[in-house]
Structure 1
């Protein structure tokens, strides 16, 4: 199986998903949009993954590659092939398919619980998450934008008190998750070494101490995140192999 992965910034790379792709014997083709790499012909690929990034989904003037990316996502999803969007990739799915995202009143940062909806507990991908059927699922959050109007034919799959749209399915085989399941050991620490990321975390959380606690909590969350990302990739892969 061939997986097309769209990456928006150096730090927010496929991480755990790269390991899951390799372990399954699949092949990943990563397009570094932030470096000016163009989108390839979509025909040879069986699944698409779109990663996160610090830019907002509407910042097309600053990041003009967002325009063809949204077109490609819309074409992909309408073709019925499996899609998984992570954080910004979730928001791009919403906007590409006719929904809308907006700034949150209070950004969501930290390792937090979310609950699956009835549709989520029955979903072939989200229902695989550890704890999906019998309690909240713990996930790592770092976002200041949320979906405020969902596209047609969208099922909300997960929610929490901070952000009511944590995961969605558009149509039958396009999924978006607002959280970050891809983190691996030391990835959050790597993100926090970037001065801009650290400044954002301090601003959103209120202090350097809170930002450091967030990094430590995220590191402790890695074993759970690895189970989450493995479950999501297994579901995406199964959907792709169904044809």
Structure 2
């Protein structure tokens, strides 16, 4: 089975619960840690799919992180060749910009912590077995304001109008972090205290964010399995 290429932008933003999910489905992973200087392939010919993780940088910070420009080129090549692409937070924003959309600071400010999202009509078709509203974990201050051609908004909330979008069955972009573990949430809330003390309508306090955390993350892993399901099925159909 051809490996899935995973691009990681920060040491604290790895695959989380997506790692055992991929392993359980028999998918090998080729992990490239871009923050450590790992190389990017010129095309996706040797990989079955592309997964883009989150990160604290802006999608436009190419001067500080030159690999962002190369990553956008790879996303365009993957999209052109019909390769399945999955993006989380920064990864969703990279998909957006690489394919002609636009990312800006969110007028609602930072969205940090556990906030519910609601499925749109398109989202109910994409995820027919999911509840229409459910909580996800969020950590972002920018959002996708203009989407690429052919994109359908799948989920939204009052803080962020585009919480998820899809382009056909090939591309799935998630603004939130369904992959996070309880350990990651504790780490982020500790390492990013300045963000949490800045305040805002959609910034939770640390006690609220960490309340019943293990139970919340266990449920989040179940939600994540459902969210990833349709996207993973297309890879398995190709392999079959």
TM-score (norm 1): 0.89
Residues 218 and 84 of structure 1: is their aligned pair in 2 closer, same or farther, counting only changes over 3 Å?
farther
Moved more, 33-42 or 93-102: 33-42
CA deviation string 1:107-132 (max 9, x = no partner): 11121111111111111xx445x41x
The answer to whether the 8 A contact 1:121-1:127 is kept is: yes
Deviation, structure 1 residue 182? 0.4
- Equivalent-residue separation in structure 2 for 1:100 and 1:25 (angstroms): 35
1:223 aligns with 2:218: yes
- Please state if 1:80 is matched with 2:77: no
- The Cα shift of 1:161 comes to 1.0
SS in 1 for 2:196: helix
2:170 counterpart residue number: 173
Q: How large is the RMSD of aligned CA atoms in angstroms?
A: 1.9
In structure 1, the residue matched to 2:31 is: 30
- For structure 2, the 5+ residue unaligned runs are none
Give the conservation status (yes or no) of the 8 Å contact 2:4–2:51.
Answer: yes
Counterpart selection for 1:186 from 183, 186, 205: 183
Instruction: Give me the whole-angstrom Cα distance separating, in 2, the residues matched to 1:76 and 1:209.
Output: 37
Unaligned runs of 5+ in 1: none
**1:209 positional shift:** 8.5
Q: Is the 8 A contact 1:84 1:175 kept in 2?
A: yes
Relative to structure 1, is the Cα distance of residues 180 and 127 closer, same or farther in structure 2, using a 3 angstrom cutoff?
farther
Greater mean alpha carbon deviation, residues 212-221 or residues 166-175:
212-221
Instruction: Confirm whether residue 198 of structure 1 aligns to residue 193 of structure 2.
Output: yes
**Normalising to structure 2: TM-score of the pair?**
0.90
Q: Is the 8 A contact 1:202 1:211 kept in 2?
A: no
Pairing partner for 2:59 from 57, 60, 66: 57
Residue 221 of structure 1 aligns to a residue whose secondary structure is helix
